[in-house]
Amino acid sequence: MIPIRGNEFRIPRRGKSGSICFSCHRMLVPNKMKHVICTGNVGVEQYAELLALAPNVHVVAGDYEDASTSFPETRVVQVGLFRFGVMHGHQILPYGSREAIARMRRKLGVDILISGFTHQNSVDLEDGFSHINPGSITGAMSAQSDQVKPSFVLLAIQDDRLVCYLYELQPDGEVEVSKTEYTKPTGSVQANPSLMQSLLT
């Protein structure tokens, strides 16, 4: 595992009935992270597991929720200088459209939009777009593909700089890590305080 300086948080994408794969689970050391962000479809047991990982756990509702859970559709999470908009992603229409994703990011007034839904990871950090899909940490199948590799994202933040590490389980059981760096541009989108208040309640 790569040593990281500054604030850290990981973004698991949990399937309701799935379990975190062993290779990924051994990298999730409790209390080594400050935040965990999850893009939905979490049951009570999985939520309790996430709470054991970090002091701040942020979960949104998915498209298939356990009746005993009640999470908001969207969240805005502030970590250092960065604002993250979090949602499951089934609300973005048409899904995968860069314009629709960018529009949602602007609507939430955030620097980076985090969404799941496809179970396929992607990291696209560029000015005016800035979207992360951490994939599925359980490797759960999706409507788009039955060939899903378990994956998650770790973000390290220091001032206006963000380093994104994408962890993806390979067929041989090894975890491959790729890295993307991003610097927050001057004069980035600022959140609308009244909208942010309504999203957080």
Does residue 85 form part of some domain? yes
> Quick check: 117 and 89 in contact, CB under 8 A?
yes
pLDDT at residue 27 in the model: 78
pLDDT at residue 182 in the model: 95
pLDDT at residue 176 in the model: 95
Range of the domain at 160: 7-200
Does residue 184 form part of some domain? yes
37-89, pLDDT tens digit by residue?
999 988 888 899 889 999 999 999 998 877 778 999 999 999 999 999 999 99
- Residue that is written with structure tokens 């860069």 in the block: 98
For the chain, what percent of residues have pLDDT higher than 70?
78
Does residue 1 form part of some domain? no
For the chain, what percent of residues have pLDDT higher than 90?
53
Confidence of residue 4 (pLDDT cuts 50, 70, 90): very low
Does residue 25 form part of some domain? yes
Q: What is the pTM of this model?
A: 0.82
What is the side-by-side order of every strand in the sheet holding 7-11?
56-59, 35-38, 7-11, 151-158, 161-169, 175-183
Checking if the pLDDT of 16 tops 80, the result is: no
Confidence of residue 198 (pLDDT cuts 50, 70, 90): very low
**Burial classification of residue 13, based on how many CB atoms lie within 10 Å of its CB (0-12 exposed, 13-18 middle, 19 or more buried):** buried
Tokens of 194: 């009244």
Does residue 105 form part of some domain? yes
Q: Residue 54: how many CB atoms within 10 A of its CB? A: 20
Checking if the pLDDT of 23 tops 60, the result is: yes
Number of domains making up the chain: 1
pLDDT at residue 49 in the model: 87
Top pLDDT among 112 and 185 is at 112
Which CATH number belongs to the domain containing residue 14 in this structure?
3.60.21.10
Q: What is the mean pLDDT of residues 16-35?
A: 74
